[in-house]
Amino acid sequence: MNQISIRRALVAAALLGSVAVAPLAMAQDYDANATIRIGSLYEPQNLDNTAGAGQGINEAFNGNVYEALFQLTDAGAVEPKLVDSYSASEDGLTYTFKLKPGVTFHSGDPLTAADVKYSIERVTAEASKSSRKKSLSTITGIETPDDQTVVITLSARSISLPYNLSYVWIVNDKATDITASEDGTGPYTLGEWRRGSALALARNDKYWGTAPTNGEVIYTYFTDATALNNALLTNAVDVITSVQSPDSLAQFSGNPAYTVTEGASTTKELLAWNDRVAPFDNVKVRKALAKATDKAKLLNSIWGDYGTLIGSFVPPTDPWYVDLTGVDAYDVEAAKALLAEAGYPDGFEFTLDTPDYDPHPIVAQFLQAEYAKVGVKVNINIITANEWYEKIYKAHDFQATLQEHVNHRDIVFYGNPDFYWGYNNPEVVKLIADSEAAATIDEQTAKLTEANKLIAEDAASNWLYLYPQIVVSAANVTGYPVNGLNSQFFAYGIQKAK
Amino acid sequence: MLFVLLRLLPGDPANALLGVGATEAQIAAARTQVGSDQPLLTQFVSFVGNLARFDLGTSFVSKASVLSEIGNRLSVTVPLTILGFLLAIVIALPLGIIAAVKADRWYGAAISIVSQLGIAIPVFWLGILIVTIFAINLRLFPSGGFPLKGWANFGEAAVALALPVLTVALVIAASLLRYVRSATQDVIGSDYIRTARALGSGFVEALVRHGIRNGAVPVISILGIELATTFLGAVVVEKVFALPGLGSMLLLAIQQRDYPNVQGVLFISTLLVLLIGFAADLLQRFIDPRLRGRAGVS
C-alpha cells in the first residue's frame, strides 16, 4: 500500500510539472560522456515518421534527433521549442511564428522558415502516412515573409495547432533519403544503425540548446520481452522503456540494483459497444453493463498493483481529465435493476469480437464471467488485427469489441458519429467541434471537460482501465522520462553515476 | 508458387503499412505505391523479371534494398549456422563412435540416452536454459544481442555468438550423434573390417583406415540435410538470443506483409539450401569413387 501511494505521488508530482524527469535524481556525480543503453520492444521500421516507421521512431528520434516548433513534455504540457515567440490573429485564423535564432541542422545548414514550411507540408502531403495528417487539415497556407518568420493561415479556428505542431519534425528542406538518414536540429545525431538490432545516437556538440548529460545513447531492440528483461538483468542495457509483462516485474521490484517507476500512460483498454445497434443503442443497457464490471478486479488480475482505473476515455495527463470512476461504479444489483428497466429482465446474448493478442482474450473471458452474473451471455469471437480493421473499423459490422487506444488527447473520436463505435450525441459533437474553435486554452479545456462528463454519463463505451507505463532501470541511471507520452523517450537528461 | 501463396493470404500490405487511422484515399494511394492494386499476373511478371537481374526490390516497410538487408542479416546467420554445425560435428563424431564401439559399457549407453534426451528437448527451451545458466547465473556471456558495429567489433561479435552457437551445436549434435553411432555400428559389423582384422590390423587401425571412409558416405548425406535444417531452424535461436539474423527478418516481414522481404529471404534461403545439397553431393563423390562412376551413367 505504501509503495502504491509513493508511485501515485510520483505521478501526481509529474503531472503538476514539478518533476519533469524521473525518479529522485540524486545529487551525485555523473559521467558526462557515459553511453546510455536503452532496451526497447519497438524497433523503428525506417527513420521517417511520415513513412510508416511505427512508434519506435518517436521513441528514438522525437526531441532527441528531430525537434518541432513545440514540444509535448513528459508531463503533458506543450512548450515552445524551435519557436521563439508566436501570436494569433483576433479571428484565430492566422498564426505568426518567430523562429529561435542561431539554430542549425546537423548538416550545418541554418534553420529557416522555408525548412518549417517544407516540414509541415511533408506531413500533410498526399503520400504522408503521419497519424497527424488529419489534425493539420485546416491549414490552408504557409507563408515565409522572411527567414525567421512563418505565417500559417487556417480555414477554421484550431486551438490545438501548437499541440499538433509538436508532432511535426522540423527537417532540413535539403535533406534527401530521410528513411535511412537524418538531418534534424536535436541534441543527438544518428550514429550507427543496424536493422533488427540497434540504433545509436551520438551527442551533437554543436547543439543550440542545453547539452545532453551523457555522451551517447544506444537503443537496442528486442522482439521478445523475456530477452529484453534478461538484457537488463545481465547489465547489457541500462533502462527498459516500457515493461509489457507484469510477471517479469517481480525480478526487479524489491531489488536495490534496479529502479521501477510507474508513470501515466495514455493507453486505454476499451470495451466498445456498437452504439448504433440494439441493445447497445440503449443507454440503460450500456450503463448496466458498466456497473456489472468489476474493473478493479480485472486490472488487478492483469497488472497486479499497477495501472489506473478510469471512468471515461480521458487519461489523467489530458488537460480535461476529471475523476469519473464514480459515475457507473461496480454494483451488480443496480446493474440488474437497470437491465430490467431497459426491458431485459432475463438478460440477453451478444458477440464480443476479440483481437487475438494480449490482453484482449483474457479480458474477454473475464467479462464473460462477470456478465453471466447479470444474466448476459457473451459469445467470444477471436479475430486477427486485420479482421478487426476490416470488419469493425471499416464495416462497423459488430456488436461489441475490445481494443486498446494509445493516443494522447483522443476524446475527439467521440465527436465523430461515423467512428467505428457509432456514438452520436449531438451535444458532444458540438462541444468537441466548438472546443477546437475555442479562443483560449481555458475555453477549450472547459468544453472538453464537459464532453468528457457527458460521454461518461452516457456510458458511450466501457472504459476498463488505463495501462501502466512502467520503466525499469539500473539504479545508477536516472533522469529518464516516466510517462513516455506519444511514445517519446527523451534521452538528453539521462545521467549515469560514475 | 511462393509468390502466389503469399498473395493469397488475407490482408493487404497497404493496410499493414498504414494502420488503423487510415482513410480510403490513403489506402488507395498506398496500394498504387506497393503495386498491390495490379493484377497478380502483372505483379508476377515484374517479380520474375527483377529476379533474373538479381534485383530483389526494396522493402514495402523500411524502403531499404532487400538484397543489402539480407547480406547484413547473413553476416549473423551464416557464422551462427556454420560454427554451430562444426561444433556439433566435433561433439557428435567422437561421442557417436564411442557410443557404438563401447555400447556394452555404461558410458556408451549413457551417451545414447543423453542424445535421445537432446532430440526430445525443444530448441527454444534449451536456449532459455543456456541463457539462464551461462548468462544470468554465471554471467559468463551476454544473454543476447549483437554488437552495433557487427564483425568490425570482432571480439564482441564472437562473444555474442558463443551461446547461440552452443545451443545450435547441442541440438544438431544430438541427432547427428545417432547417425554416427549407427553408421559406426554398420561399419564394425561389416566384412571388410573383419577381413582387415584377420589380416593383422588392430581394431582402431582398421576403423581409421577403412571404416571412416565407408562410414562417412551416409553420414555426409545426412550432414547436408542437417546443415540445411540448421540454417532454416536458426530462426528460433535468433529469437531467443535477440540476434539480427535472417530468421528474425523473415518473421517480421511476414507479420508486416512485407512481400519483397519475405520473397527475398525465401529465395536466398532456397538458393543456399540447394547449394548445400550440391556441395554434400560433390563431397560424397570425392570420398566414394563408386559414386563418381554412377554420375557418368545418370
**A448-476: average pLDDT:** 95
Nearest chain B alpha carbon to A231 = B143
Predicted pLDDT of residue A3: 37
Which residues from B are below 8 Å from A196, CB to CB? 73, 244-245, 248-249, 252
The answer, yes or no, to whether residue B296 has pLDDT greater than 50, is: no
Residue B136 touches chain A, beta carbons under 8 Å: yes
**A410-422: average pLDDT:** 93
The answer, yes or no, to whether residue A22 has pLDDT greater than 50, is: no
DSSP A276: T
Predicted pLDDT of residue A1: 33
End-to-end CA gap in chain B? 29
The answer, yes or no, to whether residue A454 has pLDDT greater than 50, is: yes
Q: Which of residues 313-372 of A touch B (CB under 8 A)?
A: none
Mean pLDDT of chain A: 90
What's the pTM? 0.80
Selected residue with higher pLDDT from A329 and B256 = A329
Predicted pLDDT of residue B27: 57
Of chain A, the percentage scoring pLDDT greater than 70 comes to: 94
Positive or negative: CA dihedral A275, A280, A284, A290: negative
Residue A314, exposed/middle/buried by CB under 10 A (0-12, 13-18, 19+)?
Answer: buried
**B211-242: pLDDT as tens digits:** 777 777 777 888 888 888 888 778 889 988 98
- pLDDT band for position B37 (50/70/90)? low
CB A302 within 8 A of CB A317: no
**A243-267: average pLDDT:** 87
Residue B64 touches chain A, beta carbons under 8 Å: yes
CA dist., res. A219 & res. A39, Å (int):
6
Nearest chain B alpha carbon to A413 = B21
CA dist., res. A238 & res. A62, Å (int):
20
Q: Which helix (H) or strand (E) holds A37?
A: strand A35-40
> Quick check: B242 and A234 CB within 8 A?
no
Which residues from A are below 8 Å from B32, CB to CB? none
CA dist., res. A470 & res. A265, Å (int):
9
CA dist., res. B220 & res. B6, Å (int):
34
CB A102 within 8 A of CB A116: no
Q: Which helix (H) or strand (E) holds A55?
A: helix A55-61
Predicted pLDDT of residue B25: 57
Of how many residues is chain B composed?
Answer: 298
Residue B175 touches chain A, beta carbons under 8 Å: no
Q: Which of A56-60, A96-100, A372-376, B188-192 has the lowest mean pLDDT?
A: B188-192
CB A271 within 8 A of CB A400: yes
Shortest Cα distance, chain A CAs vs residue B201, angstroms = 55
**B251-266: average pLDDT:** 81
Predicted pLDDT of residue B5: 57
Residue A386 touches chain B, beta carbons under 8 Å: yes
Q: Which residues contact A324 (CB under 8 A, 6 or more apart)?
A: A310, A311, A312, A452, A453, A456
Greatest alpha-carbon span in chain B: 86
Predicted pLDDT of residue A408: 84
Predicted pLDDT of residue A243: 87
- pLDDT band for position B90 (50/70/90)? very high
C-alpha atoms less than 13 angstroms from C-alpha of A78 in its C-beta half-sphere: 18
Of chain B, the percentage scoring pLDDT greater than 70 comes to: 82
**Range of B101-105, B127-131, B253-257 with top mean pLDDT:** B127-131
The answer, yes or no, to whether residue A341 has pLDDT greater than 70, is: yes
The answer, yes or no, to whether residue A418 has pLDDT greater than 60, is: yes
What CA–CA distances, in Å, run from A358 to A404, A407, B10?
A: 10, 18, 21
Residue B272 touches chain A, beta carbons under 8 Å: no
Selected residue with higher pLDDT from B208 and A343 = A343
Predicted pLDDT of residue A167: 92
Predicted pLDDT of residue A4: 35
Ramachandran region of residue A161, left (φ > 0), alpha (ψ -120 to 50) or beta? alpha
What dihedral do alpha carbons A90, A95, A96, A99 form, nearest 10°?
A: 140
**B155-174: average pLDDT:** 92
Q: Which helix (H) or strand (E) holds A200?
A: strand A198-203
A152 three-state secondary structure: strand
What is the grid cell recorded at A89?
490573429
Work out the number of other CB atoms within 10 angstroms of the CB of residue B208.
12
Instruction: Return the ∠ at Cα B248 (arms to B234 and A54), rounded to 5°.
Output: 170
- pLDDT band for position B7 (50/70/90)? low
Q: Where are the alpha helices (DSSP H) in A130-253?
A: 161-165, 225-233
**Range of A38-47, A197-206, A351-360, B169-178 with top mean pLDDT:** A197-206
**A192-236: pLDDT as tens digits:** 998 888 999 999 999 999 999 999 999 999 888 888 998 999 999
Q: Where are the alpha helices (DSSP H) in chain B?
A: 2-8, 13-18, 24-34, 40-52, 66-101, 106-120, 123-130, 154-188, 191-198, 203-206, 212-240, 246-255, 259-287, 289-297
The answer, yes or no, to whether residue B257 has pLDDT greater than 90, is: no
Predicted pLDDT of residue A471: 95
Considering CB atoms only, which of B63, B145, B240 is closest to A179?
A: B63
The answer, yes or no, to whether residue B23 has pLDDT greater than 60, is: no
CB B26 within 8 A of CB B18: yes
Considering CB atoms only, which of A200, A218, A227 is closest to B144?
A: A227
Selected residue with higher pLDDT from A19 and A497 = A497
- pLDDT band for position B24 (50/70/90)? low
Instruction: Return the ∠ at Cα A174 (arms to A172 and A180), rounded to 5°.
Output: 75
Instruction: Return the ∠ at Cα B232 (arms to B231 and B238), rounded to 5°.
Output: 80
What is the grid cell recorded at A417?
458519429
Shortest Cα distance, chain B CAs vs residue A412, angstroms = 13
> Quick check: B242 and A227 CB within 8 A?
yes
Predicted pLDDT of residue A24: 47
The answer, yes or no, to whether residue A322 has pLDDT greater than 90, is: yes
- Looking up cell 522481404 gives B261
- Looking up cell 561479435 gives B157
Considering CB atoms only, which of A131, A200, A222 is closest to B148?
A: A200
Predicted pLDDT of residue B123: 86
- pLDDT band for position A389 (50/70/90)? confident
- pLDDT band for position A12 (50/70/90)? very low
End-to-end CA gap in chain A? 34
- Looking up cell 548445400 gives B276
- Quick one: which of A132, A115, A124, A211 has its CA closest to A166? A132
CA dist., res. A107 & res. B11, Å (int):
41
> Quick check: A46 and B20 CB within 8 A?
no
> Quick check: A127 and B242 CB within 8 A?
no
Which ipTM did the prediction report? 0.74
Of how many residues is chain A composed?
Answer: 498
Predicted pLDDT of residue B26: 54
What is the grid cell recorded at A414?
467521440
Of chain A, the percentage scoring pLDDT greater than 90 comes to: 72
Residue B17 touches chain A, beta carbons under 8 Å: yes
Positive or negative: CA dihedral A186, A187, A190, A193: negative
> Quick check: B17 and A236 CB within 8 A?
no
Selected residue with higher pLDDT from A360 and B54 = A360
CA dist., res. A465 & res. A296, Å (int):
8
Residue A192 touches chain B, beta carbons under 8 Å: yes
> Quick check: A129 and B144 CB within 8 A?
no
What is the grid cell recorded at A116?
518549417
The answer, yes or no, to whether residue B1 has pLDDT greater than 60, is: no
Predicted pLDDT of residue A411: 93
